[in-house]
Structures are given as C-alpha cells and as structure tokens.
Copies of this chain bind each other. A is one copy, B any other.
Amino acid sequence: MAKKKLNVGLVGYGFMGRTHSNAYRQAPVFFDLPYSIGLKAVCARNPERAQAFADNWGYESIESDWRKLIDRKDIDIVDIASPNDTHHEIAIAAAKAGKMVLCEKPLGRNAKEAKAMVDAVEAAKVANMVWYNYRRVPAVVLLKHLIDEGRLGKIFHYRTKFLQDWTISQDLPQGGEGLWRLDASVAGSGVTGDLLAHNIDTALWLNGGISEVVAMTETFIKARKHNLTGEMTPVNIDDASLFLCRFANGSLASFEATRYARGHKALYTLEINGEKASAIWDLHDLHRLQWFDHTDEGRLRGWRSIHITDSDHPYMKNWWVPGLQIGYEHTFTHQVADFLKALGEGKQAAPTFRDGLAADYVTDAVLESAKSRQWQKVLG
C-alpha cells in the first residue's frame, strides 16, 4: 500500500533552500517513514532562478508570491527558508491556511515576532518545527541521551562558542542577496540571531532553562557599502556577542559568537562538565564526541574520541558501516525523518515554534543586556 504523500512548498532557494531540498530527497530513501514527500513547489521572487532551482531539485512547479503558495490546496507543508524578516508574516498566514509550517531559525527577528508565530500555529493546531538542525547531529543526540540517563551527574559548567571569520574584510559589502545576514533590518541582529541562537537552542535542550544573562556585543566595522543602494551605510548588526549566565540547574555558562575569529570557519563548539563525566563536541569534526568518564579506572582516565559511526549510535544504522562518516547535510535529513515519524505517531517533533521562541527570548535578553550593561532577565 502506498504511503500518503505530503506535499512541500518551499519558500526561498538560498543556502537553506538547498539543505532542506536535499533532506526531502534523502530522508525517505534512508529512513523508513510513514509518509512520502512530494516536492510540489518552490517560491521565490525571481522566476527564472526559481525555475532553475525547481528543475535541479525536482520541484514540480514554481510560485513567485508566497501568498499564492499558501493558497494552493495541493500544498501540505510550507517550509520557510527565506530571509528572517519574512518568517513571521509567511508563517502566520500559512498556519491560518491550515498548513504545517517549518521555519528556518531564528524563528522571528525578535521574540515579539516569534510569539505571534507561536500563537498562530498553536491556534491553528498545525504541526510546526524550527530548523535548529544541530539537534540532529548524531554525536549531539548521543550526548543528550547520556545527560538524560544521568551519566554526567550534577552539571557544573556549560561553555559554547560559534566562531567564524568571513566578515573580517572591510571590503565586504552588506545587504542584498547572500548578504542580508549583515543587515539587521532583515536579519533582526547579527551573530546573536544567526549563530548564537544555535548555541542557545542546543543548550536549552541539553541543559535546561536560563533565567538571566549579562552580555557584551561589538560591531568591529562601523560602516560598509550596502548592496541595495551602493552607499556606505552604518553597520547595524553585532559582529560579536558574548554572555554569561546561570542555568536553572545551577550550572554556570559562557556563550560566544563572532565572525572575527580568524582561522575558524564554522566552529560551533560545546562543552558540558558534570560531577561524573564531561563531554565536548564541535562542528568541524561533527562525527566525533569527546567523552571523559570519571568512573573509569583512575590511571586510565582520559578523554575518549568517539567516532560516531557505529550502528548503535543515533541515526547511524541507516547510513553506511562503522568508520564511515556522514556530514553536515545529514542533520537536515534526520530532522525531516523525525518530523515525519512524529507526525505518524500523532506527536510533534521538537524543536517546535515554542522552542524557537524560547531561544528568541534569550537572544532578546542578550541584545538588551549588551545595551543596558546590566544583568537582564530572560522573559517567557
């Protein structure tokens, strides 16, 4: 018996449009899922490029206005991979139209937008998910299991960074296609929403809630040429963002994101220290988990570099054989698989829009603390 097909309408064809499209193609091949997926339409303002994207990825049709996409009866899932300033309007309309809504992170440009999005999907009772893909790295999922099993014991410390170096040059312009992340009016903020939001989402998932933060941000290059005007324009994003906080479990934490850390391309790292064990993970070697277990025999204690490619590691029995690593794109594939599996069981896969809102509350507090130079409570 054929599986029910769910049809996807994708908004946006940039970097994230590619990762999502790949995930839709790969998930049903590598995972046994309760639904099949139809790549029904891709929506973008430039019809020629939309068509080229559709042809390449196998979308059946294109739209140039997202409202039309939402109106279509043959679309079950609206997937928002367009710039941040479009998220809330599209998501709310899609929810009202009864569509399932998947949305790139950060959910809103700020918690206010995100809250409206949560209200919309919850009122409409539609399945919803935010693409915080790093929750689906097998090494990170294994760590989640270990934490939940109590293998780390009481947690004392959490530290996490997201380091890049691609905006150091003064000659890099801001704004427009490909560079909207450098324009806060579109992106909402700089690295706080783009990078630190990933660190925050994973941390809330692994280590629980944060009640207040003290933060510091910096804009190293004060003006750049804006691509949409050709004019030198003040830079309105944060280039770097750091904060300290305490988690509800009593642990202390430091967070940092920057695009000015020469030598690091996408170095998302996290470390958690518990009474009984500690773990370290980083995105540049995403197929490994560093693990220290204090219950090991004393003279033989050491950090283990676990190569996360065995069949008893999360997701890995669906891929190749031990020793053969997967890559970045697979996190999205896992997320599609988990979304459909949960749907088949009448459940809602995390991170939901509500989870996305929780991250936005923290990023709002971070940006506010950086301005006020005070400890700032996290709302929500």
| B-binding residues in A (CB < 8 A) | 15, 18-19, 22, 25, 29, 56-57, 142, 156-157, 159, 161, 163-166, 168, 214-216, 218, 220, 240, 242-244, 246, 250, 252, 254, 256, 258, 260-267, 273-278, 283-287, 289, 291-294, 296, 298-307, 309-310, 312-313, 319-330, 373-375
Give the Cβ gap from A38 to chain B, nearest Cβ, in Å.
Answer: 14
List 15 A-B pairs, Cβ < 8 Å. A25-B29, A142-B299, A156-B168, A214-B214, A214-B216, A262-B275, A262-B278, A264-B278, A267-B323, A284-B307, A284-B323, A287-B327, A298-B310, A299-B312, A374-B374
Q: Which 3 A-B pairs have the closest CB atoms?
A: A266-B323, A265-B323, A263-B292
Whether A244 contacts B214 by the Cβ 8 Å rule is: yes
When A15-B321, A291-B300, A323-B267 are in contact, do A240 and B157 touch as well, CB less than 8 Å?
yes
Q: Could you tell me the distance between the alpha carbons of A283 and B325 in the complex, rounded to whole angstroms?
A: 9
Whether A261 contacts B157 by the Cβ 8 Å rule is: yes
Whether A156 contacts B240 by the Cβ 8 Å rule is: yes
Copies in the assembly, this chain: 4
User: Closest residue to A260 on the B side, CB-wise?
Assistant: B156
Give the Cβ gap from A71 to chain B, nearest Cβ, in Å.
Answer: 29
User: Closest residue to A289 on the B side, CB-wise?
Assistant: B302
User: Closest residue to A277 on the B side, CB-wise?
Assistant: B262
Q: Could you tell me the distance between the alpha carbons of A313 and B304 in the complex, rounded to whole angstroms?
A: 18
With a cutoff of 8 Å between Cβ atoms, the chain B residues found around residue A243 in the complex are 244
Q: Could you tell me the distance between the alpha carbons of A157 and B164 in the complex, rounded to whole angstroms?
A: 12
With a cutoff of 8 Å between Cβ atoms, the chain B residues found around residue A289 in the complex are 302
Contact of A300 among B22, B256, B293, B375 (CB under 8 A): B293
Q: Could you tell me the distance between the alpha carbons of A215 and B114 in the complex, rounded to whole angstroms?
A: 31
Contact of A256 among B159, B263, B310, B375 (CB under 8 A): B159
Q: Could you tell me the distance between the alpha carbons of A343 and B44 in the complex, rounded to whole angstroms?
A: 35
Give the Cβ gap from A275 to chain B, nearest Cβ, in Å.
Answer: 6
Q: Could you tell me the distance between the alpha carbons of A284 and B274 in the complex, rounded to whole angstroms?
A: 20
Contact of A328 among B258, B299, B301, B324 (CB under 8 A): B324
Whether A328 contacts B322 by the Cβ 8 Å rule is: no
Q: Could you tell me the distance between the alpha carbons of A142 and B168 in the complex, rounded to whole angstroms?
A: 25
Q: Could you tell me the distance between the alpha carbons of A351 and B307 in the complex, rounded to whole angstroms?
A: 30
With a cutoff of 8 Å between Cβ atoms, the chain B residues found around residue A261 in the complex are 156-157, 273, 278
Give the Cβ gap from A306 to chain B, nearest Cβ, in Å.
Answer: 4
With a cutoff of 8 Å between Cβ atoms, the chain B residues found around residue A258 in the complex are 156-157, 252, 273
